[in-house]
Structure 1
Amino acid sequence: MDRRPPARPRMSSRRVARHASAVIAILVALAAVWALKPVLLLLFSATLVAIILDGVARKLTKLLHLPHGFALAIGALLIVALIGGISLLFGRELVNQLNQLIGLIPGGWHDLSERVGEQRLNGIAEKLAPSGSSIFSIIQGIVTVVANLLSALLLALLGGIFLATQPRTYRKGIRLVLPQRWEDRADDVLGEIGSTLRAWLRGQLVSMVFVGVGIFTGLMIVGAPSPLALAVIAALLGFVPVIGPLMAAAPGVLVGLTMGGDAIWQVILVYFIVQQIDGNLVNPMVMRHTVKIPPAVTMFSLFAIGAILGSTGLLLGGPITVLVVVLVRELWIKGALGKTLD
C-alpha cells in the first residue's frame, strides 16, 4: 500500500506570473516613494495645512452660517493676515536676534569647553555624533533647519489652500482607484484620520504658543540675549514631540553660558519649568481628545522617521506618527482583527 502523501498541486505559470508582478509592483512603488520623498513630505505638509484651513472654515460656517467656500476664503485670509502681521511686527527683530544668536553660539561653546574640559567634551561629541560632526555643528544645524522651515511654510500654505478648496474632488479620486468594496471603509478611515490630525494639530498649536510665550517671558526676566529668537526656536521645535524640547534647549544653554555667573542655571530653570508645565499640564489637557501614543513609541518612531526621511521628516514626525497609529488602529486592529479599543 502506497503511503506517500499526495503530491501538492503545482502553481500554474499564470499564478506565478501574477505573484511576481505583484511583488515587482510593490518594489517599484517603494522605490518611487523613496525617490519622491521631498515631494511626498511637501504634499503631507500641505495636507496638514488643508486640515487646519478646513477646521477654521468649519468653525466660521458654524458661527456665521457662511457657505463653506466663502468661510474657507475668509479663514485663509485671516491666517495669511495673522502671519503677515506677526512678520511686520517682529520679522526684522527676529532676523536680528537670529543673527545675534548665531554669533553667540561659538562663545557659548568655548565657555562650555572650559567648564567641562575640551577633551571630555570632544569625547562626548564623538559618541553622540560618530560620523564626525560635533554638537556645535548640530546646534547650528538646528538653527538652519528652523530657518528653512519658515521658508517652506509658504509652499505648504499655498498647497494647503489648493487642497482645501476642493476636498471632495480629491476624496472622490481616492475612491476611484480603490475596489468598490473598499470605498465606504476608505471614507470612514479618511474621516477618522482628518478628525484625529485636526485635534492633534489644534492641541499642538496651543502647546507651541504656550512654550514660545513662556520661554520668551522667562528669558526676558533673567535678561538673556536673543529671547525672541530662542522663543521662536523653542515654539517651532515643540512641534516635534519628545526630542523637540531637548533640541530647543541646546542653543539656550549655550547662550546662557555667555552671560557669566549663575545665569546659566537661571536659563536652564526657565526651560525646565516651561517644559514641565507644558508636558504635565498643558499638553495632556489639550490632547485629551486625540490619539494617545506612549512616549516610548513616539520616541522610537521619530528616530525611525528621521533615519528614513531626514531632518524634514523628523520635523513632521509627530503627525506622521499619528497617521500611522490611526491607520494601524482602523485597518489592522479594528478591521483585520475585529478588536475594539477601550
Structure 2
Amino acid sequence: MADPDYPPPKGQPSHTAEAKPASADGTQPAVQAILALEHTLGRFYRLACLVVALAVVSLLVSTGGPVLMVVCASALVAVVLHGAAQGIARLLRLPQWASVLVLVSALGVAITALVRIFGPEIMVQAGHLRSALEVQIRTLRDTLNTDAFGHFVMDHIPQSMGGNQIGTPGHAVGADFTGSMTNVLTSTFGSVGTMIVIVIAGIYFAVSPRLYANGLLRLVPEPHRPLGRKLLLTIAHTLGAWVAGQMLDMTVVGFLTWWGLWAIGMPLALPLGLVAGTANFIPYLGAFLGAAPALLIGLSVGTKQAVMVLGLYAVIQTFEGYVMSPFIQKRAVSMPPALTILSQTIFGAFLGVWGFIFASPITAVLLAVATQLSKPVKPQDEV
C-alpha cells in the first residue's frame, strides 16, 4: 500500500488527486472564461472609442465647421504652393522658403497685371450687361402681363423682384434695399477676410510643412505614431494627386474656353476663360458656375452670341466630362461620380458654401484613409 505522506514514484500515476479536465489547447476553463471576458470587454472598449470619436467629430463639424473648412482650404493652398515651389527650387537652386516667396510674388504681379489690363473693359461690359438685362426683364414682364396665366404669376412676385405684388403697408422699399446692400457688403468683406487668412496660412504651411506635420505627430500616442505618420503621408499624397489632377483639368478647360470665346468674337475672352477654369475646381457643378458670366455677357451682346456661347461651353464640358476627366482620375484620385455629387450635397448642407467647394478633396482624403485602415475585400466576399 502506498504511503499517503509520500508522493508516488516517478512515472506512476497518482490516485489521491483527481485529474482536472483541460480543453483541447491545454488551457483551463477558468482561463478560457477570463480570455473570453477580456475579448468582449475589448470589443466594447473599441466600440465606445468609436462612438466618442464620432461624437467629437460631429461636435467639431457642427460648432467649428467653418474653421475646419479654412484649415482644409489652407492645406490645399499649401499643397499647390509647395508643389510649384519645388519646381522653382530645382530650377533656380533656391531654398524652399525662398521658392515659395518667389512664386507668391509672381502670382501677385500676374493678378495685378490682369486687373490693370482687363479692369476697365470689365466695368464697361458690366454696364452693358446691366442695361441689356434691364431691357430683357422689362420685355419679359410686358410679355407675361399680356397673358392671363403670366399676369397671375406676376401678381405673386414682389415689386422689388419685378413683379406686381404690392408690399406690406408701411414697409419702405428703401429699407429693403439698404438691408440687402448691408448684407452683401458684410458677406463680401467677410469672404475677403477669410480668403486672406487662407492664403497667409497656406503660405506658412508651404514654407515649412514638416514643422506642422511633426507637431501633429507629437499629439499622437507614441505606440501609434508609425500609423499616424503613414496616414499623414497618405493624406499629403492624396491631396497632391487630387490637386495636380484638378490643376491640369482647370488649365485645359480655361485654355479651351479662352480660345473658343476669342474665335467667336466674345469680349473679355481671357478673363472668362480664367473664370471657367477656376470654377472647374468644383467637379461637375463648377461647369455651370463658370458658364454663367459668359452667358450673361453673351446676352448683353445679342441672342445669337449667347446661343454660340452656350454651344461652346456644352462642347467643352462634354469633352472634359467624357474624355479628359476619366483619364485624369485614372492617374490621380479616382472617385465614383455619384459619391462626388453626394459628398457635395452632404458637406454643402452641413457646412454651407465652403463645404460644397471642398467636398471633393475631403472625400478623396477620407477614402484614402479608410483604404489604409481597412483590409481589402477578398474575391470570394465580393458582391
Match of 1:41 in 2: 69
- Please say if residues 203 and 287 of structure 1, whose CA atoms lie closer than 8 Å, have aligned partners that are also in contact: yes
- Please say if residues 108 and 255 of structure 1, whose CA atoms lie closer than 8 Å, have aligned partners that are also in contact: no
- Please say if residues 212 and 235 of structure 1, whose CA atoms lie closer than 8 Å, have aligned partners that are also in contact: yes
**Is structure 2 residue 86 aligned with structure 1 residue 54?**
no
Match of 2:275 in 1: 233
Q: How does 1:93-132 map to 2 (within 5 A)?
A: 93-100=117-124, 102-103=126-127, 104=129, 107-108=132-133, 111=136
Letter in 1 for 2:331: H
Q: How does 1:207-226 map to 2 (within 5 A)?
A: 207-226=249-268
Structure 2, unaligned runs of 5 or more: 1-36, 38-43, 163-185
Higher Cα Rg: structure 1 or 2? Answer: 2
Partner deviation per Cα, 1:118-164 (whole Å, 9 max, x = no partner): 578x98xx9xxxxxx99xxxxxxxxx999987775543232122223
- Please say if residues 81 and 206 of structure 2, whose CA atoms lie closer than 8 Å, have aligned partners that are also in contact: yes
Match of 2:365 in 1: 323
Match of 1:137 in 2: none
Q: How does 1:173-212 map to 2 (within 5 A)?
A: 173-212=215-254
**Is structure 2 residue 343 aligned with structure 1 residue 301?**
yes
Assess, with a 3 A threshold, how the Cα gap between structure 1 residues 296 and 266 changes in structure 2: closer, same or farther.
same
Letter in 2 for 1:292: S
The structure, 1 or 2, with the larger RCO (C-alpha pairs under 8 Å, 6+ apart) is 1
Q: Partners of 1:286 and 1:25 in 2: how far apart?
A: 34
Task: Tell me which moved more, 237-246 or 50-59.
Answer: 50-59
Count of residue pairs the alignment pairs up: 304
- Please say if residues 74 and 202 of structure 2, whose CA atoms lie closer than 8 Å, have aligned partners that are also in contact: yes
Match of 1:275 in 2: 317
- Please say if residues 306 and 314 of structure 1, whose CA atoms lie closer than 8 Å, have aligned partners that are also in contact: yes
**Is structure 2 residue 192 aligned with structure 1 residue 168?**
no
> What is the DSSP-based 3-state SS (H/G/I as helix, E as strand, rest coil) of the residue aligned with 1:293?
coil
Assess, with a 3 A threshold, how the Cα gap between structure 1 residues 191 and 302 changes in structure 2: closer, same or farther.
same
Query: TM-score of the superposition, structure 2-length normalised?
Result: 0.65
Assess, with a 3 A threshold, how the Cα gap between structure 1 residues 87 and 332 changes in structure 2: closer, same or farther.
same
Pairwise CA distance, 1:214:
1.9
Q: Partners of 1:203 and 1:145 in 2: how far apart?
A: 31
Pairwise CA distance, 1:183:
1.6
Match of 1:313 in 2: 355
Partner deviation per Cα, 1:92-124 (whole Å, 9 max, x = no partner): 34444554555416734864896897578x98x
User: Percent identity at matched positions?
Assistant: 26
Assess, with a 3 A threshold, how the Cα gap between structure 1 residues 112 and 332 changes in structure 2: closer, same or farther.
farther
Q: Partners of 2:50 and 2:234 in 1: how far apart?
A: 29
Q: Partners of 1:96 and 1:151 in 2: how far apart?
A: 25
Structure 1, unaligned runs of 5 or more: 1-8, 10-15, 127-132, 135-143
Letter in 1 for 2:215: G
Task: Tell me which moved more, 51-60 or 317-326.
Answer: 51-60
- Please say if residues 86 and 99 of structure 2, whose CA atoms lie closer than 8 Å, have aligned partners that are also in contact: no
